[in-house]
């Protein structure tokens, strides 16, 4: 297990790591000298783990006499014993790797899959890198120059004003102590500033690399001596910014740039001016005889303690509590007001008094301040306190009311996107339509700010006139359901109307679709009698919703929580359609794409719930192509393939007319630039469905990718989506943009969660799932080698020796199924060598996305010691591990920590040590990583979570390798119920009595066991 740490120094990023496999202490007692760090990752291990140039670093770390303390991120299988001696700072030398400038920025923003956990210092540097990229993208940068002896260094610096300055303060406050390890007790502000400036410079150069030189194309002969300004401009896009020029010329350039030097420099003032707009009293009227009903108050706000706001009169009287940070608050207030008046000249009127404390505004002035001056002052770093109604303001717009034929007609099939709908437009403020009387009152007032329904609203008289003219010309008419849906999905800026569209109301199926309540309002669709399952009420609603969207030709994203039966609902849709009157569904195959690890799951679910459906797996080296594939599709209902196979075979799959294309674990196409996303976009189908429990994992762009597959063009281009939704929501928590995005996507997205009482009442208390996966090629090769070797030994032995050989063979085969490294006793990175681990990662990702917790049981300490650090590194979280050697006190601490509200989300336990005697009801997922073929033992382990005190439904997953002994023994237990009673008392011993022929059949890999 590695824990990676880092620091920024000079022009580059330095990274080092701790290795939990190395000794915890050193024999050296020379505390006054720099000693080698005993468990720092070696140079060879580090270069295999991280990119960069090898180097070394000297660090000051909290230590005991013979060793540094472990970082909080370092995970040891056997934790070090705690000591009562207070730690001290000692010097240690560590191997490190260094990435200069742009390389450091690139790694911090996209480190890829690193088999390690990131320490707090790396996490903080990654936040800095993202902030630097954000500043560069928004153009919040200025060019600068630093003179040198032979010329200068051209660089870009961040402009930190308003919210950006506050973000920088937060990053300074969040600097972890380990970030100072390379520089002693350095100033936090200086450390953050240096890293942010270097990262911002690298981010701007990265963006300018494609644009080329900032200089216009030169005509004529090149001068012998390049002008200083030209050399500087050229260096702003160069690799390191250095340029040669006469020192006096560089000095003149620096002087010319000096007016920009303090703009947005982030230099701390002890306080800043803040402006508060106070609205007139509720009984004030907007009549002309009330010329100044608004009041703009001046305040001083402490930058050290932003909660401290001092009104201007108190500042003139001495500053009160502000005197703690400001010697002369009066001078600071005047300076700040003078600076603000350059952006808002109207302030000059308020500054004419001896002790300015406010400015009176009429309605027009108040509106100008709100719309023009306030954003400019906020951007420049001044504090702004706006009325609450302004932050939730409702612009004047148009609202459509549409009516369609009754639901009775719809149920007979006479509905769809071409259905005719009547419509009427009305003026509205936000989501509320205005009455004729209110419109007349607003028009008569002729004021830009008026009170309506007890709240102030801004009304542009010209917009009101255009809106009324539009209603007179085109206020009513007829359109189609498709045009109503398109208008509902169109961004207000793209609507060719005199005012923005504030909302659309409709009745019938169209209204239910727009409101996202289709699943609840539709008449239930009766599943085919050939479906071998009783659908729960919410699953019946899901089937009705999928059927409805299929009929109207709209893509659907079924985003139910894991464990709620997305697979069953999809199979119910396929089976019911094919047994009905839908000719396309009856004669065309459906294509289902899923991760390789889920192929076995789909095969098992089809056999279980809809065995009459003709299933074909298009996967593996022997898969069909060309005419052979075409012939097979003619007699197939569902084709299951993987994303990677579909990507490779897209030329064979694209020409097929599919009934439906289904993406399981649809987050696989979350990156629109990936080959998989581009390939699935080429598939032609009557209907498209996405199944995913996590439609958004990290960024909103992932939702765009899924929605664009389902209903192309719904959310516009990627660039437009990013500007209108992703940036406002992710960076600025813009609730209006988030609400708008939900409105656009909710007709096509159905998500139910386990915490919904309507869902919980429909679920059993314990859900057991057989989790199928496929072996990797390496696993399959090892598996076959073990079978060949052990069958020879079994055939040549008898009695106790034979039973021992059978059990040894089973153990080895189960180890291979876990991970090749477990059988080979390797300590290498887990990587992608195990199909079981690949599938485990996918499940854990869903569990963490839902803020759930899981218990993971295994028989083998060796496998646990592989899985624990791998999961901790892969998901950046603590993973507890309880085994037979865990002391009682440590065991009790682990249980207490896991049961706490902030406990780690995963607890790995050995089946024998943790299978009984523990209360772990904080978990609502139980995962049996390797099977113990004794149902009683497995049930006892499950009961650690499924017991008195558990308030949530428990999902139990038992891993089964397709075509391996895991699947075959599971089948034996199901087919021969008597065996289930035998194994309760006999463990796995009954298997040793099988004949050699039965054992060979049991151990031999079956077709379809190997993935890609």
pLDDT tens-place string over residues 335-394: 888 888 888 999 888 888 888 889 988 888 888 898 899 888 887 778 888 887 787 667
* Alpha carbon distance 689, 666 (integer Å): 9
Report pLDDT for 214. 52
CB 818, CB 929: distance < 8 Å: yes
In a domain, 693, yes or no: yes
Of 280 and 609, the structure prediction assigns the larger pLDDT to 609
Judged by DSSP in three states, 850 sits in: coil
For residues 3-21, average pLDDT = 91
Domain boundary pick from 515, 536, 560: 515
List all residues 6 or more positions away from 985 whose beta carbon is below 8 Å from its beta carbon: none
819 in any annotated domain: no
Based on the domain organization, do 835 and 716 belong to the same domain?
no
Domain that holds residue 874: 768-774+831-993
Q: Pick from 206, 230, 259: which residue ends a domain?
A: 206
pLDDT for the residue 262? 64
Residue 530 lies in a domain: yes
Q: What is the pLDDT of residue 466?
A: 82
- Cβ burial 925-947 (10 Å sphere, 16+ → b, else e): bbbbbbbbbbeebbeebbbbbbe
Q: Is residue 948 part of a domain?
A: yes
Q: Are residues 7 and 149 in the same domain?
A: yes
Q: Is pLDDT above 50 for 805?
A: yes
- Residue 696: predicted pLDDT: 78
Question: Are 428 and 350 in the same domain?
Answer: no
User: What are 14's two structure tokens?
Assistant: 């330095």
Task: Answer for the pair 633, 584: CB distance below 8 angstroms, yes or no.
Answer: no
Q: Which of 338, 363, 390 is the last residue of a domain?
A: 390
Q: Is 49 part of a structural domain of the chain?
A: yes
Is residue 614 located within the same domain as residue 726?
Answer: yes
Confidence of residue 853 (pLDDT cuts 50, 70, 90): very high
pLDDT band at 575 (very low <50, low <70, confident <90, very high): very high
| Rounded Cα gap, residues 35 and 909, in angstroms | 37
Condensed to tens digits (0 to 9), the pLDDT of residues 442-486 reads 777 777 777 777 677 777 777 788 888 888 788 888 777 777 777
Most confident range (mean pLDDT) of 12-21, 249-258, 725-734 is 12-21
Instruction: State the total domains in the chain.
Output: 5
Phi and psi, residue 290, nearest 5°? -115, 80
Is residue 788 assigned to a domain? Answer: no
Q: Backbone phi, then psi, for 176, in 5-degree steps?
A: -75, 150
Rg of the chain on CA atoms, in Å? 34
Are 714 and 854 found together in one domain?
no
Tell if the pTM clears 0.75, that is, is over it. Answer: no
Q: What is the CATH number of the domain that holds 729?
A: 3.40.50.10810
- Both 9 and 75 in one domain: the answer is yes
- Give DSSP secondary structure letters for 116-131: SEEPHHHHHHHHHHHH
* Whether pLDDT at 95 is above 90: yes
**Segment 488-499 mean pLDDT:** 74
User: Would you give the DSSP letter of residue 526?
Assistant: P
Residues 493 and 572 in one domain: no
User: Looking at the structure, do residues 504 and 529 belong to the same domain, yes or no?
Assistant: no
CATH number assigned to the domain comprising residue 873: 3.40.50.300
Residues 324 and 428 in one domain: no
In-domain check, residue 237:
no
Looking at residue 53, its pLDDT comes to 93
Total H helices, total E strands in the chain: 43, 34
Do 849 and 956 have their domain in common?
yes
Residues 694, 583, single domain; the answer is yes
Tens of pLDDT, residue by residue over 873-922, are 888 888 999 988 888 778 888 888 999 988 999 999 988 888 776 888 89
Reply yes or no on whether the pLDDT at 140 is more than 50.
yes
Give a yes or no: residue 1008 inside a domain. Answer: no
Does 699 share its domain with 637? Answer: yes
Residue 428: phi, psi to the nearest 5? -145, 155
């Amino acid at each position: 297990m590695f824990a990676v740490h880092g620091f920024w120094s000079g022009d580059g990023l330095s990274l080092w790591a701790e290795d939990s496999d190395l000794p915890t202490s050193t024999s050296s007692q020379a505390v006054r000298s720099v000693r080698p760090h005993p468990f720092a990752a070696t140079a060879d291990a580090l270069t295999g783990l991280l990119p960069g140039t090898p180097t070394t670093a000297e660090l000051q770390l909290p230590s005991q006499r013979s060793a540094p303390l472990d970082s909080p991120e370092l995970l040891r299988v056997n934790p070090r014993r705690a000591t009562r001696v207070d730690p001290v700072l000692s010097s240690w030398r560590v191997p490190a790797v260094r990435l200069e400038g742009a390389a450091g920025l690139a790694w911090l923003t996209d480190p890829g899959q690193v088999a390690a956990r990131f320490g707090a210092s790396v996490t903080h540097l990654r936040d800095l890198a993202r902030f630097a990229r954000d500043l560069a993208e928004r153009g919040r940068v200025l060019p600068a120059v630093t003179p040198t002896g032979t010329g200068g260094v051209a660089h870009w610096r961040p402009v930190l004003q308003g919210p950006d300055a506050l973000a920088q303060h937060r990053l300074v406050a969040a600097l972890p102590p380990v970030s100072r390890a390379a520089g002693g007790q350095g100033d936090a502000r200086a450390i953050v500033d240096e890293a942010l400036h270097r990262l911002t410079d690298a981010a701007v150069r990265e963006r300018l690399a494609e644009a080329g030189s900032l200089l216009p194309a030169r005509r004529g002969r090149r001068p012998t001596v390049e002008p200083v300004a030209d050399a500087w401009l050229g260096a702003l896009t160069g690799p390191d910014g250095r340029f040669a020029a006469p020192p006096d010329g560089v000095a003149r350039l620096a002087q010319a740039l000096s007016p920009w030097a303090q703009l947005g420099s982030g230099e701390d003032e002890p306080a800043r001016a803040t402006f508060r707009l106070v609205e007139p009293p509720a009984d004030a009227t907007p009549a002309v005889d009330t010329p100044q009903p608004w009041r703009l108050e001046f305040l001083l706000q402490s930058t050290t303690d932003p909660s401290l706001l001092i009104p201007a009169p108190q500042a003139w009287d001495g500053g009160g509590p502000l005197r703690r940070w400001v010697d002369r608050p009066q001078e600071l207030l005047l300076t700040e007001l003078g600076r603000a008046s350059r952006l808002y000249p109207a302030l000059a009127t308020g500054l004419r008094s001896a002790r300015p404390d406010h400015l009176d505004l009429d309605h027009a002035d108040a509106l100008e301040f709100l719309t023009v001056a306030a954003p400019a002052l906020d951007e420049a770093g001044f504090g702004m306190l706006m009325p609450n109604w302004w932050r939730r303001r409702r612009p004047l717009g148009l609202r459509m009311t549409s009516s369609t034929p009754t639901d009775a007609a719809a149920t007979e099939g006479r509905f769809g996107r071409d259905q005719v709908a009547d419509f009427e437009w009305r003026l509205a403020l936000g989501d509320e339509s205005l009455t004729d009387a209110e419109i007349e009152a607003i028009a008569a007032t002729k004021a830009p700010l008026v009170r309506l329904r007890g709240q102030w609203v801004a009304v542009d008289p010209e917009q009101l006139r255009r809106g009324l003219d539009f209603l007179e010309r085109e206020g009513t008419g007829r359109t189609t359901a498709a045009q109503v849906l398109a208008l509902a999905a169109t961004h207000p800026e793209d609507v060719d109307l005199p005012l923005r569209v504030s909302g659309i109301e409709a009745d019938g199926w169209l209204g239910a679709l727009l409101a996202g309540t289709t699943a609840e309002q539709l008449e239930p669709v009766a599943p085919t009698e050939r479906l071998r399952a009783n659908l729960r009420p919410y699953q019946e609603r899901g089937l009705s919703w999928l059927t409805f969207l299929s009929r109207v030709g709209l893509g659907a994203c079924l985003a139910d929580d894991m464990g709620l039966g997305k697979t069953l609902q999809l199979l119910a849709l396929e089976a019911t359609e094919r047994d009905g009157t839908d000719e396309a569904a009856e004669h065309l195959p459906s294509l289902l794409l899923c991760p390789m690890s889920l192929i076995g799951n789909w095969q098992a679910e089809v056999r279980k719930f809809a065995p009459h459906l003709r299933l074909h797996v298009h996967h593996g080296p022997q898969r069909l192509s060309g005419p052979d594939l075409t012939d097979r599709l003619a007699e197939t209902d569902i084709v299951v393939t993987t994303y990677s196979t579909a990507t490779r075979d897209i030329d064979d799959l694209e020409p097929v007319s599919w009934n439906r294309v289904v993406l399981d674990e649809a987050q696989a196409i979350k990156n629109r630039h990936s080959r998989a996303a581009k390939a699935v976009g080429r598939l032609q189908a009557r209907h498209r469905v996405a199944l995913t429990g996590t439609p958004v994992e990290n960024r909103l762009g992932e939702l765009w990718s899924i929605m664009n597959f389902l209903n192309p063009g719904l959310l516009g281009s990627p660039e437009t989506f990013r500007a209108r939704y992703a940036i406002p929501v992710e960076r600025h928590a813009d609730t209006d943009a988030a609400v708008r995005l939900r409105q656009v996507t909710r007709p096509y997205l159905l998500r139910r969660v386990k915490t919904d009482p309507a869902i919980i009442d429909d679920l059993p208390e314990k859900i057991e799932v057989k989790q199928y996966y496929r072996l990797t090629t390496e696993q399959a090769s090892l598996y076959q080698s073990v079978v060949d070797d052990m069958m020879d030994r079994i055939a040549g032995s008898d009695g106790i020796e034979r039973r021992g050989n059978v059990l040894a063979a089973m153990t080895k085969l189960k180890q291979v199924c876990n991970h090749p490294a477990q059988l080979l006793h390797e300590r290498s990175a887990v990587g992608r060598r195990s199909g079981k681990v690949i599938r485990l990662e996918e499940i854990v990702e869903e569990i963490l996305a839902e803020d759930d917790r899981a218990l993971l049981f295994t028989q083998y300490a060796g496998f646990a010691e592989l899985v624990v650090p791998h999961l901790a590194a892969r998901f950046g979280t603590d993973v507890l591990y309880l085994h037979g050697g865990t002391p009682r006190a440590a065991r009790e601490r682990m249980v207490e920590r896991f049961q706490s509200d902030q406990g780690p989300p995963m607890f790995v336990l050995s089946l024998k040590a943790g299978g009984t005697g523990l209360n772990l009801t904080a978990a609502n997922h139980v995962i049996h990583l390797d099977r113990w073929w004794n149902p009683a033992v497995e049930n006892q382990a499950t009961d650690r979570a499924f017991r008195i005190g558990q308030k949530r439904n428990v999902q139990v997953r038992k891993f089964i390798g397709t075509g391996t002994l895991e699947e075959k023994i599971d089948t034996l237990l199901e087919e021969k119920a008597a065996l289930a009673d035998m194994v309760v008392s006999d463990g796995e011993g009954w298997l040793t009595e099988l004949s050699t022929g039965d054992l060979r059949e049991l151990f031999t890999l079956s077709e379809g066991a190997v993935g890609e």
